[in-house]
Structure 1
Amino acid sequence: MVPTRVGNSELGWKHFSGRHNIKKCRIVNAAIDGKPDQVNGARLEYWAYAWNGSRRVKVIVIVQCARKSADGRYDAGRGQKIGVITAYCKGLDKCPNWLNE
């Protein structure tokens, strides 16, 4: 199980719901439901696709599967994992509003 913490402006729910306009849990859950699409040490990348008619976006969810963040600034505590760092739509500053409907 991958935790998604409330976080702050730099990581977690507060980060990606504001900065990247992802406001529905189902979007993140759809991506992290399977195996990671890319692994680089403790950094896991999950991909999911969303469609609205002919429009399609690729949602990328970045997970830190370790107690501490890569830069050492965040520590989830003994026996815990950081979890979801961010989620975003590839190639877009903000995900389209229809993704949250």
Structure 2
Amino acid sequence: MRVATLQASACLAAGSVLAVASSAQGVGADPGGEPHRTVILSNEEFEHWYGPAASKGEDGAIMSQEQFDRAADRQRVAYSNALATEPTGQAQALRASDWSTVKFKAKDLNGKTIPTRVGNSALGWRHFSKTHNITNANVIKLITEGSHTPKADPGRPHRLVYDGVLSTTSGPLDGPPKVLARIRIIAQYHWQTEKADYVLKNKHDKIGVITAYCRNVAKNRCPDKVNK
């Protein structure tokens, strides 16, 4: 499959979108028809184009032809909601070492910069890339950069939750998009984790992404198509 990164529209004021053009027999494609495409975007982007009902996963979302055409042209499609899981911690406090090395960063639409650190088996890139099969940095970047207001976690003031989706889109006559995967990113916007298991030397820095995963699948492990 051919991977193309598209510029976000001015209307959405979002980041770039990862688009995957599949073959006629690819994911979500109709044999003999125009190939479907898959895109990753934040819930806010999805609701902007398809409304809250579609974001909640209701079948047969109703929209005007003009709305669908605009969304299809920009290949902005999506999903919503996911259920957070508790990140695995370690019993002892660890000083900043290789786990804290920043692998990449993403800035949400509210200006918060969220780093993804190399991490280990408990948090960060090494955790979610192995445990939850998210191995493409663009998955994290697209969802974070397309979100304006991450969800708060009651009782956890430094916890940020970003939701996103992998969805199909095709021509305007193919109807509403099909959600292929629901993705959630959990970030710690503080210089230490909740139990102080992990602490950064610079108190102006943020731990960043604790975990990322797919909902409603075995072991919250994402399908391979999320990374393509």
TM normalised by structure 2 equals 0.42
Other-structure match for 1:61: 185
Other-structure match for 1:19: 131
Q: Of 121, 125, 128, which aligns to 1:9?
A: 121
1:14-93 matched pairs, under 5 angstroms:
14-33=126-145, 34-40=147-153, 41-52=157-168, 54-78=178-202, 79-92=204-217, 93=219
| Greater RCO (CA < 8 Å, at least 6 residues apart) | 1
User: Quick check: which has more Rg, 1 or 2?
Assistant: 2
CA shift, 1:4, in A, is 0.4
TM normalised by structure 1 equals 0.91
Distance 2:185 2:159 in 1: 10
Other-structure match for 2:222: 95
CA shift, 1:55, in A, is 4.5
CA shift, 1:16, in A, is 0.4
Gap runs ≥5 in structure 1 = none
Percentage of pairs with the same residue: 34
For 1:98, the aligned partner's letter is K
Instruction: List per-residue Cα deviations over 1:10-56 (Å, max 9, x = no partner).
Output: 00000000000000011111121123431131000001110257452
RMSD: 1.4
Distance 1:61 1:36 in 2: 13
- How many residue pairs get matched? 101
CA shift, 1:91, in A, is 1.7
Q: After the TM superposition, which parts of structure 1 deviate over 3 Å for at least 4 consecutive aligned residues? A: 52-55
Distance 1:19 1:98 in 2: 16
Change (3 A) 1:39 1:55: closer
Distance 2:167 2:140 in 1: 15
Give the conservation status (yes or no) of the 8 Å contact 2:165–2:179. Answer: no
Give the conservation status (yes or no) of the 8 Å contact 1:20–1:88. Answer: yes
